[in-house]
Amino acid sequence: MVSPHFPPDTSAATHRVRLLAPAVAAAGWEPVVLTLTPGSYEGRLEPALLDLVPPSLRVERVPAWPPSRTRWLGVGDLGLRAWTALRARARALLAAERFDAVFWTVYPSWPASSGPGLAHEAGAAFVLDLQDPWVGAWGRTVGGGPGGTPDLKSRVTRLLSLPLERRTVCAADGLSGVSNGTLDEVLARVHPPRDLPRAQLPLVANAADVALARRTPLLTPPWNAGDGRTHLVWLGTLLPAGIVVMQAILAALHQAVERDPSLADRLRLHCFGTSNETRIGAPGRVMPIAREAGVEGLVTEQAERLDYLDALRILVRADAIVLGGSTEPHYTASRIYPALLAQRPLIAIYLEGSHSARALRMSLAVPSLRLVTFGGSSPQAGEVAELAAAITDVAHGLAWRAGDHRPASAGAPDALEVGRRLADLLERACAAHAARVGDGAATGPAPGGSR
């Protein structure tokens, strides 16, 4: 299981294989994780995450090129810096031991293009896992230019990614993704020469992680819990394609206060990790929108990314959690599943038909969930009014009700269920690989279990 991001790295991608590896082990496979040394990451580390990795899980680490050696070439991307080291260690492992399958998750995407060749040289199946689309809106409608517009670098990145994605998907024996929408988008663009075994492996949260966060206090609480106010929390990156959603949320906050002026002193919206950067002083993305909406006095923003456990500690202590998606149908926010486990009222706005909207509907009921959906390019006046009503209800004491939660639903399967889905996909990918090489043999488990 190749995952460039892994504890103690703090990025969201860290948790994909951290949660899947123990789950697929419970389903009969023997996972070996290949990742990077802690010194490979540029951002702040979270050593406490290492305690969440089971001691029984075998983890192999290699160093990426340090950014001090690559920046002069204009290369800072972790995938590019780690590409050669991951490829060399994967080849060595596959040569020294028997592996039935190679599961390679992206992001970053660049190194995954080595996966099919490495796996097939060793007689193993290759499964590509997409936490996000390999080729999405980046470089087409959004990018690193002014106001999040495409610039030359983002357009070039997209042009280079298209053939790499096509070659990797067409050579894969299996494909997994966080949502069916993500998989459908890739297959519609790539058109592989044969039917690929595929599986939806939703992002999941670990109930034990949330329970730990509930037991341990925040060292520096971001608000005074006894001040009589209703504290709403937004947690996560504000993406360029999500700006119109945040504009709708803040317009709804303004509308709620305009209709009931007493809410101006009773409501606060706290936004954390909006920049996806770990450095202190990262530029905020919400406050400029809040000023335009006239609600800057009701909003606080900590743009730098929170440590994972601190983020969970904030979620479980919020009076309500605000969730918002983007204008991209495939978008699946990792924050949904921790938010469901936090057992707080949810106010959410997502694109109608998106995986996120479906998952929430299948996991929580009204009134604990107030879900607003929109069509087209942005939320309209009616959706803003619905959000304003939900915010007003929460301010007047709407609380989460245990009976509204449906934890066993298909909308939010637990890690063990997703692990069973992955185990089934690996078996099908092994059979597909055997059929491709023409030996007709069923791949049986390696000694000690499938790997």
Whole-number average pLDDT of the chain: 90
The residue behind tokens 């260690």 is: 89
Is-contact 129 104, C-beta < 8 A?
A: yes
**pLDDT at position 346 over 90:** yes
Using CA atoms of 106, 303, 203, 330 in order, give the dihedral in degrees to the nearest 10. -70
* Best CA proximity match to 192, nearest among 216, 211, 173: 173
- Identify any residues that bridge with 59 across adjacent strands, giving them in sequence order: 33
Least confident of 58-62, 86-90, 363-367, 419-423: 363-367
Q: What is the pLDDT of residue 118?
A: 98
184 to each of 100, 200, 239, 444, how far by Cα in Å? Answer: 26, 11, 22, 30
Q: At what angle do helices 355-363 and 180-190 cross, to 10 degrees?
A: 160
Q: At what angle do helices 180-190 and 152-171 cross, to 10 degrees?
A: 90
Q: pLDDT digits over 146-158, tens only? A: 877 888 988 998 8
Percent of the chain with pLDDT over 90: 66
What average pLDDT does this structure show over 202-210?
85
* Best CA proximity match to 110, nearest among 78, 71, 138, 66: 78
Note whether 14-204+413-437 and 207-404 share their fold: yes
Q: Supply 317's token pair.
A: 């202590």
Q: pLDDT digits over 48-88, tens only? A: 999 999 999 999 999 999 887 766 666 678 999 999 999 99
Q: What is the pLDDT of residue 271?
A: 97
* Best CA proximity match to 159, nearest among 180, 183, 135: 135
The three-class DSSP label of residue 296 is helix
Q: Supply 147's token pair.
A: 């106001």
Cα distance between residue 131 and residue 115, in whole Å: 16
Which CATH architecture group holds 14-204+413-437?
Answer: 3-Layer(aba) Sandwich (3.40)
Q: What is the pLDDT of residue 447?
A: 41
Q: What is the pLDDT of residue 247?
A: 97
Q: What is the pLDDT of residue 310?
A: 94
**pLDDT at position 103 over 50:** yes
Is-contact 175 197, C-beta < 8 A?
A: yes
Is-contact 133 182, C-beta < 8 A?
A: yes
Is-contact 19 204, C-beta < 8 A?
A: yes
Q: Supply 327's token pair.
A: 């204008």
What average pLDDT does this structure show over 322-346?
85
The residue behind tokens 């590896």 is: 21
Element (H, E) at 370: strand 369-374
Element (H, E) at 350: strand 346-351
- Identify any residues that bridge with 102 across adjacent strands, giving them in sequence order: 126
- Identify any residues that bridge with 45 across adjacent strands, giving them in sequence order: 9
- pTM, two decimal places: 0.83
Pick the CATH number of 207-404 from 3.30.465.10, 3.40.640.10, 3.40.50.2000, 3.40.718.10: 3.40.50.2000
Is-contact 40 81, C-beta < 8 A?
A: yes
326 phi/psi in degrees, rounded to 5: -140, -175
Q: What is the pLDDT of residue 429?
A: 97
Percent of the chain with pLDDT over 70: 94
Q: pLDDT digits over 235-252, tens only? A: 999 988 899 999 999 999
**pLDDT at position 409 over 60:** no
* Best CA proximity match to 345, nearest among 268, 387, 401, 263: 401
* pLDDT band at residue 330 under the 50/70/90 scheme: low
Using CA atoms of 183, 186, 189, 193 in order, give the dihedral in degrees to the nearest 10. -80
Q: What is the pLDDT of residue 412?
A: 57
Q: What is the pLDDT of residue 72?
A: 64
139-143, 353-357, 431-435: which has the highest mean pLDDT? Answer: 431-435
Cα distance between residue 377 and residue 386, in whole Å: 18
- Identify any residues that bridge with 85 across adjacent strands, giving them in sequence order: none
